[in-house]
Structure 1
Amino acid sequence: MKKAQNLPPLTSAEIANLWISYQNDTMAVCIYKYFLNHVEDRDVRSLIAYTLHIAEEHVADVTNIFKKENLPLPKGFDEKYDANVDASRLFSDTLYLIHITDISKFALSAYGYALAVVSREDIVAYYTKCLEETIKLHNDSIATEVKKGLYIAPPKIPKPEGIDFVKRTDFLAGWFDRRPLLAIEISNLVYNTKRNAVAQAFATGFSQVAQNPEVVKFFEQARELTGKQLENLNGLLNKDYLSATLSVTSEVTTSTVPPFSDKLMMYHATAFTSSGVAQYGVAMSQSPRRDIGVVYAKMVAEIALFAQKGANILIDNGWMEQPPGAADRKRLARE
């Protein structure tokens, strides 16, 4: 890596993505050290160890970049304060594996976006490496799910018999005489049901171990909201006699000993929420049937409103670290 003085200053996009990466990877180190302390399955242990290794490596890389640029390092998360690896087991090995698969999908999107907006040679190289590592993690986690019979494949559809074109405007309708779901609509519905199932399980576990009563209530509400949205998405599939994922809350133990700080669990929830809004937006744009678009729009509104509750809790407790931003020109003009 070239020395920072021989490179142009970091752009806002580069600072923003590196800052977010540091937050996410310091959180991942805390989570996967705890997982590693309890996992029993050899294959899942290998995946957790690899996930932890790349998270620790990313933290070191970003730390090095910030130091060379003389930028203040974000606080992020510290295993001394935000994790208790010796806490009793809260999740099963199955949920560990499902979480890795889900988090790898989130990382693929995040690193792909970062790579698209950065330009400095060393930062491009960094996010290229991150993406390559995440591709391997994702492929290995899917292969492990298949091996263990845990992978739920999307529903099959008939093979197209030829090329066809839309002939009627009711192709876009959805309330009366609705057409069958398109393959892309099925794909998005299945993906989003799986994400809600994971989110519901983690909200269930976090509600049992959170210490702050307001945080407990937040996760109880998150459990109900994700369950409701899971039911809505499954309902759209069921109308075409298709099936998707099932609830995985049974993979949560009855432990009430907190493995993580309330701050970390709240940040984990906000990361899931922001990712969910983005994915719903993608699904909405790819669903021509109007009734499906309305369902997604309603769910985006629900989780956006819920995310505001989470942000208020983070702010009220002094847990929300302010990201880097533009200069406040109005304030500077008054000084």
Structure 2
Amino acid sequence: MSTSKLPPLTSSELANLWMTYQEKTMILRFLEYFLEDKQDYKELFELYYSRSLKRVARIKEIFENEGAVIPIGFTKDDVNIGVPKLYDHMFEVMYIRLMSQIETGLFALHSTMSYREDVRNFFVEATAEAQDIYNQSTQVLLETGVIAKPPYVSMPKEVHFVHEQNYIGGLSWFSEKRSLNTIEVSLIQHAVDTNLVGMQLMIGFAQVANNKEAQQHFVRGMKLSKKIETELGDILRHSYIEPPATHAGKATNSTVPPFSDKLMMYNTSLLSTFGLGSNALGGAFSLRSDLPLKMLQLAKDIYSLAKEGGKIMIQNGWLEEPPQIEDRNQLTKK
């Protein structure tokens, strides 16, 4: 029974807090593993950990006040502290940069779907925290030369309008594709950058997974990340732009799992969802007609991977069911 004096949670508020609980408890397990022997940039990881812990505690408090069951999410059983490192130097910073990127988008969206003041404030604060972690981790990676900036271009001196229909061309084999505009470069660069991290994450997961189906799923995710990085990188090269690359953040040769298969499958599912959203954004804002088509083809592959992952999670009892709307058909039959 609810003990809150506030208006009851709406379905969207309940859903978004539930999803945040899942994501934040997963992040806590990763950070516990990273912090075990992390000396460099330890303060950054501790800051991310303490903030995530407070977010989880606040969601628990809201749910308890509403008389709602606390989700299971991910617990200490999903992480093995003290096992050999699965990733080499700087991957941890690259990983939290990627996850804070995802959080920034998710929490900003959740804030616009919230109506109760305390829930709105929760997601506004969570968005600001994610942006801060993203800023700090990006600065670290730039200072250490681990990530490459997008290319520089000449600054525009005049305003131009498009008058030729071939500006949106690109599908014909017989016409020369125009060079990319800066909007298109930024979206492609972002996709390549995130898939470089995702590919190494999948390589490590594939090495340590105990479940055979999960292991094969991670191999497929690894190959898909490589495909996306290669095909989008080729589009950049066609405009004489070198795609981003990094010397750091590789998977080691360890085969000892630091995480449960359940946690690794959830993380892969989260990245697939993020990938679908990024591809949709890239396709929507690209004016050269071959680019939305390429994004659509890649999105189909990502969706297929996500669907396969959902089946594996269900088969193994790893997929925690979100809060359900009342089934009125069933209730009225009684």
- On whether the aligned pair clears a TM of 0.5, the verdict is yes
Q: How does 1:84-233 map to 2 (within 5 A)?
A: 84-175=80-171, 176-233=175-232
**Matches of 2:247 and 2:259, distance apart in 1:** 21
Query: RMSD in angstroms over aligned alpha carbons?
Result: 1.4
Instruction: Map Cα deviations across residues 200-235 of structure 1 (whole Å, 9 max, x no partner).
Output: 000000001100111111111111111011101101
Q: CA contact under 8 A between 1:155 and 1:244: conserved in structure 2? A: no
**Matches of 1:29 and 1:134, distance apart in 2:** 14
Q: Kindly state the Cα deviation for residue 161 of structure 1 after the two structures are TM-superposed.
A: 2.2
Length, aligned pairs only: 330
Worse-superposed segment, 45-54 or 197-206: 45-54
Residue identity in the other structure for 1:75: I
**Matches of 1:191 and 1:233, distance apart in 2:** 10
Residue identity in the other structure for 1:90: L
2:46 matched to 1:46? no
Q: CA contact under 8 A between 1:201 and 1:248: conserved in structure 2? A: no
Q: Kindly state the Cα deviation for residue 247 of structure 1 after the two structures are TM-superposed.
A: 6.1
Q: How does 1:7-46 map to 2 (within 5 A)?
A: 7-41=6-40, 43=41, 45-46=42-43
**Matches of 2:249 and 2:38, distance apart in 1:** 17
Unaligned runs of 5+ in 1: none
Residue identity in the other structure for 1:140: Q
Q: Which residue of 1 aligns with 2:293?
A: 294
Q: Kindly state the Cα deviation for residue 158 of structure 1 after the two structures are TM-superposed.
A: 1.7
| Residues 85, 330 of structure 1: alpha-carbon distance in 2 compared, 3 angstrom cutoff | same
Worse-superposed segment, 140-149 or 239-248: 239-248
**Matches of 2:260 and 2:89, distance apart in 1:** 21
Q: Kindly state the Cα deviation for residue 248 of structure 1 after the two structures are TM-superposed.
A: 6.2
Q: Kindly state the Cα deviation for residue 38 of structure 1 after the two structures are TM-superposed.
A: 2.5
**Matches of 2:328 and 2:301, distance apart in 1:** 35
Q: Kindly state the Cα deviation for residue 331 of structure 1 after the two structures are TM-superposed.
A: 1.2
Instruction: Map Cα deviations across residues 40-76 of structure 1 (whole Å, 9 max, x no partner).
Output: 32x2x22211111111111111011100111011110
Worse-superposed segment, 312-321 or 148-157: 148-157
Report the 3-state secondary structure (helix = DSSP H, G, I; strand = E; otherwise coil) of the residue aligned with 1:6: coil
Worse-superposed segment, 325-334 or 276-285: 325-334
| Residues 84, 182 of structure 1: alpha-carbon distance in 2 compared, 3 angstrom cutoff | same
**Matches of 2:241 and 2:121, distance apart in 1:** 42
Q: Which residue of 1 aligns with 2:315?
A: 316
**Matches of 2:240 and 2:163, distance apart in 1:** 25
2:65 matched to 1:77? no
**Matches of 1:6 and 1:277, distance apart in 2:** 39
TM-score (norm 1): 0.96
Residue identity in the other structure for 2:164: R
Residue identity in the other structure for 2:194: R
| Residues 248, 210 of structure 1: alpha-carbon distance in 2 compared, 3 angstrom cutoff | farther
TM-score (norm 2): 0.96
**Matches of 1:68 and 1:6, distance apart in 2:** 9
**Matches of 1:244 and 1:193, distance apart in 2:** 7
Residue identity in the other structure for 1:280: N
Q: Kindly state the Cα deviation for residue 165 of structure 1 after the two structures are TM-superposed.
A: 0.4
Q: Kindly state the Cα deviation for residue 145 of structure 1 after the two structures are TM-superposed.
A: 1.2
